[in-house]
Structure 1
């Protein structure tokens, strides 16, 4: 019998799932305009590959992955690119992000598609295919899947965990996907199995989804795999990767450790489905299943093209008159959509229409009584009440000592707090402040490094210039006929072979001596001009001047550089 383990903490909120699973998945109609953000996954911002006025085909790549931790973005349908500009993002900040605005032509004309025989290719080529076809984690984290399909070199892969728990209330997109497309999910899991070569494959599904469990077990038999489909207890957040790994394998993944370093990796069922479509059908990730539920007349799961404005999607559910807003994700970890123009993206798994009845206004925040309920509910065994005090006092160093970045913001602590303190909001605030200070510090360190490098470069260039001047002066002094014994001796002594070994003072003196020699030769070589028409008086005046100048030049000519000329009074 399969042994299950438990994770600490967790809560059991109302699931509210039944209303959205009564009808099969429906295909959302084509909107009048698609707004496709280029940044839809963790990692770098994909580079735009199209321009305004360009016609694109369905599945054509419009954003090229940036470096390894990134994923490509594709045109959800055929049409014309209206613009590549900043548009509001599906993010709690409401800030704009670079997006491709596409006007569909209604033809839905595909690019050329070709299946891939991945068994005949090197694993690296298969990972590149997944990257170029935009396959990312569709459980909410949107981490590029190809980067997770690399096993740790020092640790053999023991277990591959497939996450079908879907623990968030209201959310049923994975449930319906497993019910209706179980066989394709299993085949996608087979791709992951072949790339990672684990000893066991475990598919975890919460026990409140009996239809999904039955469908997945039947699909495993049809495909002929030996995957284990396991019913796990319904408890939020059992769908968290670390929690599900703990339940199925008994392994606890430390905060500073990646799960492959412990011989286990985890993927969402929707990710496995899109991986199979990319490999077997040559289809990039162009759409996803989205649960539309809450305060609507027709709650249901829809297959929606990425880039569909929220306004077009919610119209399908017929929101009720008292709807006050729309939450993306579940009620525990989701956020309110900033605008009805914000698009559906790869991370959009659920849209909940909110109302005062469904989500009453929060009760007023009261002082913390240190009851410890938040610590008992925390699945990562943190001390939320301590983190709250330090975050509120802006003592961010202490929050880091209490491992604030281990917090996954699941909301369990806020859910059980009798004082109605929005603990997660304080933790998000503290994290953002720490990140901002880290960015400022990194910028200051980079500026300091640039300043020091510039100073070092200038000093190096000065030294190199002085050395070049000394060598040139020595060469000229050695080649020229010495004008005096002192200058000659000093000039000849500085040659190309010895200039590099002289100290800076010697180089300086040699450079001065060579310059004086050049100036003297230049003076001697200058002949008077326009002297043909001089009068006798002018010639006598010039002769007197030259007679007075000759005694002044004698000390310098004899090498007596430090003696002062005798001036007759």
Structure 2
């Protein structure tokens, strides 16, 4: 069967050679961590500890702030040092809990339940919620909420996203090679919870060894398959992945995957689901790619949530040149951050370092009406029109032009010959349209 894809998209250089062959390395315990209370879509978590409290690794330190929220857990053992505002990988300041480590890595008691697949769907979902599992490849949507479709909605397909289409990032690729069986067990748990009859693992064509491995592991499975996908960005975006894998089209104007009977989860999230259900292990660590031409020794590191980016870079030997730009995440959809004194979160997929030449940006020019942004837009909207409306404070026209449908993949800005900051304008438009609609 041929490779599958979606309409539109671009082909940036993937720059994955820096780290794709680097096996996952567990990082030594950090001396201190910061656990931000907002690592997910939804209400921030609420602290249940105070300064001076001693905590264990895996201990809950903040309750979920509502149904669309998740609890937070300490990733090391030690003492609560601060409850304050800290840097966040989005560039914002958020409330967080600083913990000074004791170097002993003392854990809460975990379990090893061999009969975990016999648990009820309700019990499985409760363990996932208690473990603080959220999406680890995108916006950080609470996993238990995704697995709770409203009455009248049924889910017949679970898609695992192993695409990792962002340049430089290789963490998902490495976990697919090194933890494939755990990923597939996590998929089976997800399928059981929503009673899905079909499972799909979507993997891009630049990972042929991962495709081969999963096909071999699934050769006797009747209801789980591997879908090979064309090498194209943003192949890993939720709606584009659903279309490529199933030919189902999620509606614009607020449509969700469950509207076409699908739930999408990242492969890293599937591992977290498996560990939560079998071991009752909270999500307190993840694999993150540290990469860039100027990084002395790019790596894929398994690190504790809350570890400072500065500690991750130091573990990689630092840089060979002065750092001009730091991106948390990938270069297309990640966030430029002002300081390495920023803690990694459950959604931190990468830390990228760039020199002055790589970070250079050309100044904006006037729109040429070339329509390149229209030709490649995977959401079939007109980014240049939206930017024009936003510049003129015309929020109604921006909304009618589809500003809220934009997935902020950055493809339009990538191809724009006038270097117009289309995503920044669209971002402003999303904020203003949301404010307008809330005030009605």
Q: Determine the C-alpha separation between the residues in 2 that align with 1:239 and 1:438.
A: 29
- Cα distance in 1 for residues equivalent to 2:83 and 2:213: 42
Structure 1: 5+ residue stretches without partners: 443-569
Distance 1:335 1:91 in 2: 6
Question: What residue in structure 1 maps to residue 175 of structure 2?
Answer: 177
| TM superposition shift of 1:213 | 1.5
**Counterpart-to-counterpart distance in 1, 2:306 and 2:396:** 40
Give per-residue Cα distances to partners, 1:504-526, cap 9 Å, x unaligned. Answer: xxxxxxxxxxxxxxxxxxxxxxx
The number of residue pairs the alignment matches comes to 436
Which stretch has the larger CA shift, 99-108 or 22-31? 22-31
Q: Distance in 1 between matches of 2:390 and 2:65?
A: 35
Structure (1 or 2) with the greater strand fraction: 2
The equivalent residue for 2:66 is 67
**Number of the residue aligned with 1:202:** 200
1:271 partnered with 2:282 = no
3-state SS, counterpart of residue 62 of structure 1 = strand
Cα gap change, 1:38 to 1:133, in 2 (>3 Å): same
Structure-2 residue corresponding to 1:301: 300
Q: How big is the alpha-carbon RMSD for the aligned residues of Structure 1 and Structure 2? A: 1.7
Shift of 1:149: 1.2
Q: Which stretch shows the higher mean deviation, 209-218 or 64-73?
A: 209-218
- Find the counterpart in structure 2 of residue 320 from structure 1: 320
Instruction: Report the more deviating stretch, 108-117 or 177-186.
Output: 108-117
**Cα deviation per residue 1:382-438 (whole Å; 9 max; x = unaligned)?**
011111110111111110111100001101111111111111111112222333445
Matches within 5 A, 1:36-47: 36-47=35-46
Deviations 1:160-194 (A, max 9, x none): 21110111111111000101111100110110011
Match of 2:238 among 238, 241, 244: 241
Aligned to 1:232: 229
Q: Which residue of 1 aligns with 2:166?
A: 168
User: Aligned-pair distance for 1:153?
Assistant: 4.1
Larger-gyration structure (1/2)? 1
Aligned mates of 1:301, 1:194 — CA distance in 2: 31
Equivalent position of 1:335 in the other structure: 335
Give the number of the structure with larger relative contact order, counting CA–CA contacts within 8 Å between residues 6 or more apart. 2
Cα deviation, residue 8, structure 1: 1.7
Distance 2:156 2:196 in 1: 5
| Deviation (angstroms), 1:225 | 6.7
Deviation at 1:216, TM superposition (A): 2.2
Partner SS for 1:353: strand
- In the alignment, the residues of structure 2 paired with residue 108 and residue 282 of structure 1 have an alpha-carbon distance, to the nearest angstrom, of 17
1:144 corresponds to: 142
Counterpart Cα distance in 1 of 2:391 and 2:397: 11
Q: Which runs of 5+ in 2 are unaligned?
A: none
Q: Shift of the alpha carbon at 1:254?
A: 0.7
Please point out which of 248, 251, 257 is paired with 2:248: 251
Measure the CA separation in 1 of the matches of 2:178 and 2:357: 32
Matched, 1:123 2:121: yes
Post-superposition Cα deviations, 1:465-510, rounded to whole Å, max 9, x if no partner, equal xxxxxxxxxxxxxxxxxxxxxxxxxxxxxxxxxxxxxxxxxxxxxx
Q: Distance in 2 between matches of 1:357 and 1:142?
A: 32
Instruction: Name which of structure 1's ranges 251-260 and 399-408 shifts more when overlaid on structure 2.
Output: 251-260
* Structure 2 Cα separation of the partners of residues 29 and 240 of structure 1: 33
Residue matched to 2:107: 110
Q: Distance in 1 between matches of 2:313 and 2:88?
A: 17
Q: d(CA) in 2 for partners of 1:206 and 1:120? A: 33
Aligned pair in 2 of structure 1 residues 337, 44: CA closer, same or farther (>3 Å)? same
1:58 corresponds to which residue? 57
Query: What residue number does 1:520 align with?
Result: none
CA–CA separation in structure 2 for the residues paired with 1:409 and 1:234: 19
Match of 1:283 among 281, 284, 296: 281
Q: Which residue of 2 aligns with 1:452?
A: none
Deviation (angstroms), 1:106:
0.8
Q: Say if 1:43 and 1:216 are closer, same or farther in 2 by CA, change over 3 A.
A: same
Provide, for residues 437-466 of structure 1, a one-character-per-residue CA deviation record: whole Å limited to 9, x for no partner: 455x37xxxxxxxxxxxxxxxxxxxxxxxx
Residue of structure 2 in register with 1:355 after alignment: 355
For the residues of structure 2 that align with 1:220 and 1:111, how far apart are their CA atoms? 35
Please give the secondary structure, in 2, of the residue aligned with 1:357: helix
The question of whether the paired residues in 2 share the 8 Å contact of 1:292 and 1:299 is answered with: yes
Write out per-residue CA displacement over residues 347-366 of structure 1, whole angstroms, 9 at most, x where no aligned residue: 1101100112333x111211
Q: State the distance in 2 between where 1:409 and 1:307 align.
A: 26
Higher helix share: 1
CA distance in 1, matches of 2:315, 2:345: 17
* 8 Å Cα contact 2:309/2:340 also seen in 1: yes
Counting only pairs closer than 5 Å after superposition, residues 474-553 of structure 1 correspond to structure 2 as none
8 Å CA contact 1:85–1:99 kept in 2: the answer is: yes
1:118, distance to aligned residue in structure 2 (A): 4.4
Please give the per-residue CA displacement for 1:19-51, whole angstroms capped at 9, x wherever unaligned: 102221111122221111111111111110111
Does structure 2 conserve the Cα–Cα contact (< 8 Å) formed by 1:91 and 1:338? Answer: no
Match of 2:428 in 1: 429
